Chains A and B, each alone.
Chain A
Amino acid sequence: MKLHEYQSKQIFARYGVAIPRGRVAASASDAKQIAEELGGKVVVKAQVLVGGRGKAGGIRLARSSKEAAELATTILGMEIKGLPVRKVLIDEAASFSKEIYLGITNDRAAKRPVIMASAAGGVDIEEVAAQTPEKIIKIRIDPLMGLREYQARDLAVSIDLPRELWRSFSEIARGLWSAYQACDATLAEINPLVITTDQRLVALDGKMDIDDNALFRHSDLNEMRDLDVENWAEIEARKYGLSYISLDGEIGCMVNGAGLAMATMDMIKLSGGEPANFLDIGGGAGAEKVAAALRIILADKKVKAVLFNIFGGITRCDEVARGVLAALNEVHTSVPMVVRLVGTNAEEGRQLLAEAKMATAETLLEAAQKAVAIAKGATL
């Protein structure tokens, strides 16, 4: 789960990271008032969960509270990469001489966290990472020991930070580590961390991704979730514990298990079609969950055929069949369906579905080919 800039920075501040004075506003009048409190010269920043806000015109400098109100009106009416801007952050404008990058993330290959810093911080950090990776200094952290003082100092030295800022940098790095750990983040990033003209280190921007698997112990963070980035189907799927991602194709699919769901999508593509979604009903799904899954698939009007691929293990095929029938009772649909049931209680499942007049298949390849043919207009 991604957090907004203002949420991330507030968390960083709690761990001793200096951030600009500022508040979030949802209207031009609020923006104006906040700008007045901050002395007029402010930055108005769109709060949306995508990169490239600045380049899209979502981050603007205002020289007065009146201008802040005008800019807030403009930005609050914008959509950036398809996402509506519902809030703007009004931050005191800072004058600075240098931009640094500082971030902590999980290094999958090393199976431990890694802290990264670069003297070439700012909007082009991704280009720096691609073109001149040696300019990004990385230090791996033992998860049982945490980030040590000497490691933070090593980073400060490696990015040629002036000696008088080492202590302050170390406090910020360790504060960021504490925030990363306390929030179960998979990413905690400050870009840029600036050296102000009066020689202080301030986090002008902040970003956090939280591990979805850890949200059970962070109800405060869970409440920060921005539902604008998800569509109805994805919200509905989460409610039922389904793993769903909508895609652009015309063949809806319902599968048990993530790997098999991906393989089924691949098979559709290999057979000349395009999957409309990724959907994993998980292990041991009951009829209610299956019914919810089918409602979600059928709500997508692009769907021209549905493919069920169930390999029963923990999941029982008869239970899946009951869910499918329950959903078809509620949602009357003319969308044709192909079903493949293998494994636990497959025969019982097939009998239950016999009346529903679905096409059946023995193998995965046959199932995918049939679904593609039917989506293209072939009859059952």
Chain B
Amino acid sequence: MSILINKNTRLVVQGITGNEGLFHTGQMVAYGTNVVAGVTPGKGGEWVMNGKIPVFDTLQTAVETTGANTSVIFVPARFAPDAILEAADAGVQLIVCITEGIPVQDMMRVRSYIDQKGVRLVGPNCPGMLTPGECKVGIIPNTIAIPGNVGIVSRSGTLTYEVLYALRGAGLGASTCVGIGGDPVNGTNFLDVLDMFEADPHTEKVVMIGEIGGSDEEKAADFINRKMTKPVVSFIAGQSAPAGKRMGHAGAIIEGGTGTAKDKIRALESAGVRVAKHPEEIPSLL
């Protein structure tokens, strides 16, 4: 069992004929994801993956023709806001945006619009999601996770792989792994995913990987304290980061003394969360 994606996911890939779109479509198909369509404006009528996946000019036609219920976005940052809105208007229920570097004001407008529509967005600037053994939407490497009962939610990409890899090394598997992305304005936050893991009967424990910047980890701590019955283990990246410097992710910056790793760890620990000193310590805390 899982959250958000599973065997019933019917995926459409926005930007399927681009370098990254095509490569990762191949990876997702190899994993067993049911990729039903792709969209690239101007390339409608073509087929990719040895003639198995049809390409459409618009998302609307792709959804109407194939019954896609989930979309994943691999288009460049300047076109990505449009791609998200197009997906929301086409009636897709879940949108996963991998694209990095979308201007924050664009994301604020997009977020305001999709909230009104009631559509769920995961990302942007995220590795996507993985339900081991069932379905992969995004770019998480195919071989690093096994099925299990640990739910994982993370603001980071490769650090998440590191944790999945460490879990596998300890014989622990994942129910679903959700990368929510490292941008200051995104679609789905820790709270949303923690709530879903709490309700998912097959998730027994949760790993939350946060980083410096913003206050989402503090809010998650409050939620865990009030609402969660399942044990949560966490790691916060950026304990050695200086203030005022943006650590790669647009969202990873300590501003005006807020958003430090110390504050986040304190909030989590007082909510009963076990916080690992380093990512490889996580399996032993579970």
- Are both chains from one complex? yes
**Which residues of A are found within 8 Å of B285, using beta-carbon distances?**
none
CB <8 Å contact, A267 and B278: yes
Known interface pairs A263-B237, A275-B240. Does A280 touch B140 (Cβ–Cβ under 8 Å)?
A: no
CB <8 Å contact, A213 and B247: no
Q: Which of A216, A255, A262, A274 contacts B78 (CB 8 A)?
A: A216
Tell me the nearest residue of chain A to B113, going by C-beta. A144
**Which residues of A are found within 8 Å of B22, using beta-carbon distances?**
none
B228 at the interface (CB under 8 A from A): no
CB <8 Å contact, B211 and A259: yes
- Size bin of chain B's contact surface: 35 or more
Q: Which of A214, A259, A313, A365 contacts B182 (CB 8 A)?
A: A259
Nearest CB in chain B: distance from A50 CB, A: 11
Which chain B residues numbered 101 to 116 have a C-beta less than 8 Å away from chain A?
A: 101-106, 108-109, 111-113
CB <8 Å contact, A213 and B77: yes
Which chain B residues numbered 49 to 65 have a C-beta less than 8 Å away from chain A?
A: none
B158 at the interface (CB under 8 A from A): yes
B87 at the interface (CB under 8 A from A): no
Q: List 13 A-B contacts (CB under 8 A).
A: A108-B215, A111-B111, A144-B113, A186-B104, A217-B78, A245-B245, A247-B242, A259-B156, A259-B249, A262-B237, A278-B247, A283-B157, A343-B165
**Which residues of A are found within 8 Å of B235, using beta-carbon distances?**
263
Quick one: which of B78, B108, B141, B155 has the most chain A CB within 10 A?
A: B108
Contact with A along B248-269 (1 / 0, CB 8 A): 1111100000000000000000
Residues of A within 8 A of B (CB): 106, 108-109, 111-113, 142-144, 181, 184, 186, 211-214, 216-217, 243, 245, 247, 255-263, 265-270, 274-275, 278, 280, 283-284, 311-314, 342-344, 363-365
Known interface pairs A109-B214, A258-B182. Does A211 touch B103 (Cβ–Cβ under 8 Å)?
A: yes
CA separation between A313 and B157, bound complex, in Å? 10
CA separation between A181 and B109, bound complex, in Å? 11
Nearest CB in chain B: distance from A243 CB, A: 4
**Which residues of B are found within 8 Å of A274, using beta-carbon distances?**
240
Nearest CB in chain A: distance from B82 CB, A: 13
Q: Which of B112, B127, B240 contacts A269 (CB 8 A)?
A: B240
CA separation between A106 and B250, bound complex, in Å? 13
Q: Which of B157, B159, B185 contacts A111 (CB 8 A)?
A: B185
Which chain B residues numbered 79 to 126 have a C-beta less than 8 Å away from chain A?
A: 100-106, 108-109, 111-113
Nearest CB in chain B: distance from A66 CB, A: 39
**Which residues of B are found within 8 Å of A278, using beta-carbon distances?**
241, 245, 247-248
CA separation between A324 and B280, bound complex, in Å? 26
Nearest CB in chain B: distance from A214 CB, A: 4
**Which residues of B are found within 8 Å of A343, using beta-carbon distances?**
141, 144, 161, 165
B160 at the interface (CB under 8 A from A): yes
CB <8 Å contact, B105 and A143: yes
CB <8 Å contact, B185 and A364: no
A213-B102, A263-B278, A313-B161 are known contacts; what are 6 more A-B pairs with Cβ within 8 Å? A106-B104, A142-B112, A213-B101, A259-B209, A260-B158, A283-B100
**Which residues of B are found within 8 Å of A109, using beta-carbon distances?**
214-215, 219
Tell me the nearest residue of chain B to A256, going by C-beta. B158
**Which residues of A are found within 8 Å of B249, using beta-carbon distances?**
258-259
B44 at the interface (CB under 8 A from A): no
Tell me the nearest residue of chain B to A269, going by C-beta. B240
Contacts between the two chains (Cβ within 8 Å), count: 165
B277 at the interface (CB under 8 A from A): yes
**Which residues of A are found within 8 Å of B248, using beta-carbon distances?**
243, 257-259, 261-262, 278, 280
**Which residues of A are found within 8 Å of B156, using beta-carbon distances?**
257-260
**Which residues of B are found within 8 Å of A266, using beta-carbon distances?**
237-240, 278
Tell me the nearest residue of chain B to A109, going by C-beta. B215
CB <8 Å contact, A259 and B158: yes
Nearest CB in chain B: distance from A124 CB, A: 15
Known interface pairs A108-B185, A262-B252, A343-B161. Does A184 touch B105 (Cβ–Cβ under 8 Å)?
A: yes
Nearest CB in chain B: distance from A246 CB, A: 10
CA separation between A117 and B188, bound complex, in Å? 31
B139 at the interface (CB under 8 A from A): yes
Q: Which of A216, A257, A262 contacts B238 (CB 8 A)?
A: A262
**Which residues of A are found within 8 Å of B245, using beta-carbon distances?**
245, 278
Tell me the nearest residue of chain B to A142, going by C-beta. B112
CB <8 Å contact, B279 and A364: yes
Nearest CB in chain B: distance from A297 CB, A: 16
Nearest CB in chain B: distance from A152 CB, A: 19
Quick one: which of B104, B140, B165, B185 has the most chain A CB within 10 A?
A: B104
Nearest CB in chain B: distance from A213 CB, A: 5
CA separation between A108 and B144, bound complex, in Å? 33
CB <8 Å contact, A213 and B240: no
CB <8 Å contact, B112 and A259: no
Nearest CB in chain B: distance from A318 CB, A: 15
Known interface pairs A364-B278, A364-B279. Does A143 touch B112 (Cβ–Cβ under 8 Å)?
A: yes
B212 at the interface (CB under 8 A from A): yes
Which chain B residues numbered 29 to 51 have a C-beta less than 8 Å away from chain A?
A: none
CA separation between A214 and B157, bound complex, in Å? 22
Tell me the nearest residue of chain B to A365, going by C-beta. B280
CB <8 Å contact, B277 and A270: yes
**Which residues of A are found within 8 Å of B141, using beta-carbon distances?**
312-313, 343-344
CB <8 Å contact, A144 and B157: no
CA separation between A111 and B113, bound complex, in Å? 12
CA separation between A131 and B211, bound complex, in Å? 28
B147 at the interface (CB under 8 A from A): no
CA separation between A278 and B104, bound complex, in Å? 23
Nearest CB in chain A: distance from B183 CB, A: 9
B133 at the interface (CB under 8 A from A): no
Contact with A along B16-37 (1 / 0, CB 8 A): 0000100000000000000000
CA separation between A283 and B23, bound complex, in Å? 13
CA separation between A111 and B104, bound complex, in Å? 9
Quick one: which of A243, A245, A284, A313 has the most chain B CB within 10 A?
A: A313
CB <8 Å contact, A311 and B240: no
CA separation between A268 and B278, bound complex, in Å? 10
